[in-house]
A = this chain, B = another copy of it.
Amino acid sequence: MAKDIETTIKNGGVTTPKGFLANGAACGIKQSGKKDLAILYSQVPAAAACAFTTNVFAAAPVRLSKAHLRARFHQAIIVNSGNANCANGSLGDSDAKAMAHAAAKGLALSDRNVLVASTGIIGRRLPIAKIGMALSALLDGLSSSGGRLFSEAILTTDNVRKEASVRVKLGASTVTIGGAAKGVGMIYPDLKVASRHATMLCFITTDADIEKASLNSALGEAVDESFNMISVDGDMSTNDSVFLLANGLAGNRKITGGGNDFGRFKAALKYLTKELAKKIVSDGEGATKLIEVVVKGARSHNDAKSIARKVTTSNLLKACVYGEDPNWGRVAASCGSSGAAFVPARTDMYFGGIKVLSNGAGISRIDRAALRGVFKKKNIYIKIDLKSGHAGATAWTCDLSEEYVRINSAYST
Contact call A360/B89, Cβ cutoff below 8 A? yes
Identify which of B235, B322, B333, B410 contacts A314 (C-beta below 8 A): B235
Contact call B412/A325, Cβ cutoff below 8 A? yes
Which residues on B sit within 8 Å (CB–CB) of A235?
A: 314-316, 330, 333-334, 337
CB distance from A96 to the nearest CB of B (A): 14
Which residues on B sit within 8 Å (CB–CB) of A337?
A: 54-57, 188, 190, 235-236
Residue of B nearest to A356 (CB): B123
Contact call B89/A125, Cβ cutoff below 8 A? no
Contact call B86/A332, Cβ cutoff below 8 A? yes
Q: A313 at interface (Cβ–Cβ under 8 A)?
A: yes
Identify which of B58, B88, B238, B401 contacts A405 (C-beta below 8 A): B401
Which residues on B sit within 8 Å (CB–CB) of A322?
A: 405, 409
CB distance from A386 to the nearest CB of B (A): 11
Which residues on B sit within 8 Å (CB–CB) of A344?
A: 56-57, 87
Q: Which 3 pairs, one residue from A and one from B, show the smallest C-beta to C-beta distance?
A: A122-B329, A323-B409, A89-B361
Residue of B nearest to A363 (CB): B123
Identify which of B323, B357, B411 contacts A327 (C-beta below 8 A): B411
C-beta contact mask, A48-92 vs B, less than 8 Å → 1, else 0? Answer: 000000111110000000000000000000000000101111111
Which residues on B sit within 8 Å (CB–CB) of A186?
A: 316, 330, 333
CB distance from A177 to the nearest CB of B (A): 29
A122-B332, A190-B337, A235-B330 as given contacts; A320 in contact with B408, CB under 8 Å: yes
> What would 15 A/B residue contacts be, using CB atoms closer than 8 Å?
A54-B337, A56-B340, A57-B336, A57-B344, A84-B329, A86-B333, A87-B360, A123-B357, A123-B362, A233-B316, A234-B313, A319-B404, A319-B409, A329-B412, A402-B406
Which residues on B sit within 8 Å (CB–CB) of A253?
A: none
Contact call B315/A57, Cβ cutoff below 8 A? no
Contact call B333/A238, Cβ cutoff below 8 A? yes
Give the complex CA separation of A40 and B364 in angstroms.
32
Q: A335 at interface (Cβ–Cβ under 8 A)?
A: yes
Residue of B nearest to A234 (CB): B315
Q: Which of A57, A357, A362 has the most CB of B within 10 A?
A: A57
Identify which of B86, B89, B124, B333 contacts A122 (C-beta below 8 A): B333
Residue of B nearest to A341 (CB): B56
Q: A185 at interface (Cβ–Cβ under 8 A)?
A: yes
Within 386-404 of A, Cβ neighbours of B (below 8 Å) are at: 400-402, 404
Q: A237 at interface (Cβ–Cβ under 8 A)?
A: yes
Give the complex CA separation of A54 and B341 in angstroms.
12
A123-B328, A337-B236 as given contacts; A361 in contact with B88, CB under 8 Å: yes
Identify which of B121, B233, B315, B332 contacts A87 (C-beta below 8 A): B332
Give the complex CA separation of A406 and B411 in angstroms.
22
A89-B360, A405-B319 as given contacts; A55 in contact with B410, CB under 8 Å: no
Contact call B335/A57, Cβ cutoff below 8 A? yes
Q: A342 at interface (Cβ–Cβ under 8 A)?
A: yes
CB distance from A310 to the nearest CB of B (A): 9
Which residues on B sit within 8 Å (CB–CB) of A328?
A: 122-123
Q: A359 at interface (Cβ–Cβ under 8 A)?
A: yes
C-beta contact mask, A247-269 vs B, less than 8 Å → 1, else 0? Answer: 00000000000000000000000
A87-B329, A361-B89 as given contacts; A56 in contact with B335, CB under 8 Å: yes
Q: A31 at interface (Cβ–Cβ under 8 A)?
A: no
Which residues on B sit within 8 Å (CB–CB) of A411?
A: 320, 325, 327
